[in-house]
């Protein structure tokens, strides 16, 4: 496993892979790796000849009042965690290697970025799309592996790949959880011990709402969506969360469910004090 920091070293490596007709699987991350990230790396191992993991805390996807400065940067520990996996390259550039001072071009999502997290994190998904497209252009992956924990991000990337005819196969990996159900996230370490004890209630609330929905046919789901969203929101408030949204949508389109929907998703974003947590659960209707 080599750690590369410059575009020219990365390009040189990718050029060699292409000459040797090796397939490439790519796992973009912001580092501070945990078992959720490693499950993506495992999938990458199974998928292609060569595995590239990027570690880059992308300034473009953080708002002015968000945790960019505070975001944990743990490159040495990340490299140690990747060592047991068959990773060929860890690409860990500095921001000035990636972004020229007078750059003029960025990617804008004009659809899904207006809902859910996009309503609260202005510019976030454009920042994500811009870095992901740049990394795709640098790594030229055959496969890109993303987590379904960030479901809206996954759908935004899927839309970008389709809209811009990007030649990459996208794979989504289920959310990896702690034993008590909390979705793993680099931000969980911001939680105080008391908030950490409370945090699994987020997924428990999702599961309770999912259980109710899965007993319904689609017509009943559509009728009761608003009530169920409101109840879940209130439950979270009573338990000490400050929820931004609880939304039940069609899992394929992220639009309100219709009579032809066969998979629904409940998505939530909620704060425990200053820590913002997101999670989701998919319900396949029978």
Catalytic residue set: 37
CA atoms lying within 13 Å on the CB side of residue 228: 24
Q: How far is the CB of 185 from ligand AMP (least distance, A)?
A: 5
| Cβ nearer to ligand AMP, comparing 32 with 261 | 32
Q: How far is the CB of 7 from ligand AMP (least distance, A)?
A: 20
The rounded distance, in Å, linking the Cα atoms of 205 and 236 is 7
Which DSSP helix (H) or strand (E) runs through 239?
A: helix 218-239
| Cβ nearer to ligand AMP, comparing 109 with 185 | 185
| Cβ nearer to ligand AMP, comparing 177 with 285 | 177
| Cβ nearer to ligand AMP, comparing 36 with 118 | 36
Q: Please state the φ and ψ torsions of residue 84, each to the nearest 5 degrees.
A: -70, -15
Q: Say if CB 86 and CB 50 are below 8 A apart.
A: no
The rounded distance, in Å, linking the Cα atoms of 28 and 89 is 12
Q: How far is the CB of 62 from ligand AMP (least distance, A)?
A: 11
| Token pair of 87 as six digits | 């990773």
Q: How far is the CB of 153 from ligand AMP (least distance, A)?
A: 6
Q: Which residues bind ligand AMP (CB under 6 A)?
A: 29-30, 36-37, 39-40, 146-147, 149-150, 173, 175-176, 183-186
User: Any idea which residue has 């998505």 for tokens?
Assistant: 267
* 69: Cβ contacts below 8 Å, ≥ 6 apart: none
The rounded distance, in Å, linking the Cα atoms of 88 and 81 is 14
């Amino acid at each position: 496993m080599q750690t590369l920091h410059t575009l020219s070293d990365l390009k040189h490596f990718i050029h060699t892979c292409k000459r040797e007709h090796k397939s490439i699987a790519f796992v973009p991350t912001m580092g501070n790796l945990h078992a959720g990230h490693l499950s993506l790396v495992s999938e990458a191992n199974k998928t292609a000849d060569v595995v590239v993991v990027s570690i880059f805390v992308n300034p473009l996807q953080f708002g002015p009042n968000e945790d960019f400065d505070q975001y944990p940067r743990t490159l040495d520990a990340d490299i140690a965690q990747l060592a047991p996996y068959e990773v060929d390259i860890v690409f860990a550039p500095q921001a000035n290697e990636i972004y020229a001072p007078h750059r003029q071009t960025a990617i804008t999502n004009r659809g899904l970025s207006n809902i859910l997290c996009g309503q609260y994190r202005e510019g976030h998904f454009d920042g994500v799309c811009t870095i992901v497209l740049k990394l795709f252009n640098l790594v030229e992956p055959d496969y890109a592996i993303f987590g379904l924990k960030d479901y809206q991000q996954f759908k935004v990337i899927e839309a970008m790949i389709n809209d811009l005819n990007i030649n990459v196969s996208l794979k989504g990996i289920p959310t990896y959880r702690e034993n008590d159900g909390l979705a793993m996230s680099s931000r969980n370490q911001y939680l105080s011990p008391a908030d950490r004890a409370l945090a699994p209630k987020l997924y428990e609330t999702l599961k309770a709402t999912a259980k109710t929905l899965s007993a319904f046919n689609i017509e009943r789901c559509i009728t009761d969506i608003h009530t169920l969203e409101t109840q879940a929101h209130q439950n979270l408030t009573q338990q000490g969360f400050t929820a931004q949204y609880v939304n039940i949508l069609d899992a394929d389109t992220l639009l309100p469910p219709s009579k032809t929907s066969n998979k629904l998703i409940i998505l939530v974003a909620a704060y425990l004090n200053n820590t913002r947590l997101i999670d989701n659960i998919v319900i396949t209707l029978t």
